Amino acid sequence: MKNKKNRLQLILELIKTQRVGCQEDLVKLLAERDFKVTQATLSRDLKKLRVTKVATDSGEYIYIVPNSNDVKDTMLTVNQGPSNPNNSVGFVSLTFSGRMAVIKTRNGYAGGLAYDIDMSRPPEILGTIAGADTIFAVLREDVTHDQAMQVLQRFIPVNSVII
């Protein structure tokens, strides 16, 4: 099991520090570090780590670990000028409409973020629905927007919220 733990840690490190675009490349990077894995094993590892693929501004696809503060936005935008610090976790904005919180993310981040919110089972949020870049979170009837922001700040930087 220790070998698997070390392999999972290495996969995370590689994805966070390099532009990895396909499983074949990741298998080669792991092999260079004496971790020989099959594509099937790697696929299970990526699923366990909740790794996803997103499009970069240049049109390539790379693996990311959604909602990781270690993922640098510079991996997604090469030579595109200064980046928004919120983009390091994929978050773009949060607005409220009645009992609904609308969370906008970079393309590809919404599913992972919605999953994290749902799996934490906060009593203030009944559930989420995610698209590619938007999440609808339904608030419980008696929950204020301020209470919802307190819950959501565990997952997103809420300092740029529009109420």
- Number of helical (H) and strand (E) elements in the chain, helices listed first: 5, 6
* CA distances from residue 119 to 90, 116, 123, 128 in whole angstroms, order as listed: 18, 5, 11, 10
Q: If pLDDT is split at 50, 70 and 90, which confidence band does 163 have? A: very low
- pTM of the predicted model as reported, rounded to 2 decimal places: 0.49
Q: If pLDDT is split at 50, 70 and 90, which confidence band does 67 have? A: low
- Between 83 and 25, residue with greater pLDDT: 25
Identify whether the C-beta of residue 109 lies closer than 8 Å to the C-beta of residue 133.
yes
pLDDT on residue 19: 87
pLDDT on residue 111: 87
* Mean of all residue pLDDT scores within the chain: 81
Q: CA 22, CA 4: separation in Å to the nearest integer? A: 20
